[in-house]
């Protein structure tokens, strides 16, 4: 792995009933804290849980992570090149955004 010079990520939790929750920005490199030489982790914000007891069938509890790329929100500066890569111009899997796999989250 190569350490990024700078990275900006906009992330959120989403579910099948209410869509994306609060979007959170994560930054590293240059004027921010140094980027990791491995993976950079950013907290994904908040979500909504179903407390009715129907956890395994509720759409509220079917969560996934989203990294937003539309509008050039998520970007990475490649090391020693001054070149930027934008999620929305790559092969993002969700209309310019990148979505993770789904998980059931039970309170």
Which residue, among 13, 8, 9, 4, has the nearest Cα to 99 in the 3D structure?
13
Q: Are 14 and 98 in contact (CB under 8 A)?
A: no
Percent of the chain with pLDDT over 90: 4
| Cβ count within 10 A of residue 95 | 9
Per-residue pLDDT of 34-58, as tens digits, reads 888 888 777 776 666 666 667 777 7
- Assess whether pLDDT exceeds 70 at residue 94: no
- The pLDDT of residue 89 is 63
Q: Which of 84, 68, 67 is nearest to 76 (CA)?
A: 84
Q: Would you list the domain boundaries of the chain?
A: 6-104
- Decide if 48 contacts 15 (C-beta within 8 A): yes
């Amino acid at each position: 792995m190569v350490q990024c010079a700078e990275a900006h990520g906009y992330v959120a939790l989403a579910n099948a009933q209410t869509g994306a929750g609060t979007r959170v920005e994560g930054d590293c490199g240059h004027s921010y804290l140094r980027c990791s030489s491995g993976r950079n982790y950013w907290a994904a914000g908040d979500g909504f849980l179903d407390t009715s007891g129907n956890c395994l069938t509720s759409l509220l509890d079917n969560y996934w992570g989203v990294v937003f790329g539309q509008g050039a929100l998520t970007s990475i500066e490649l090391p020693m090149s001054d070149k930027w890569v934008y999620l929305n111009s790559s092969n993002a899997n969700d209309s310019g955004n990148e979505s993770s796999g789904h998980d059931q989250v039970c309170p």
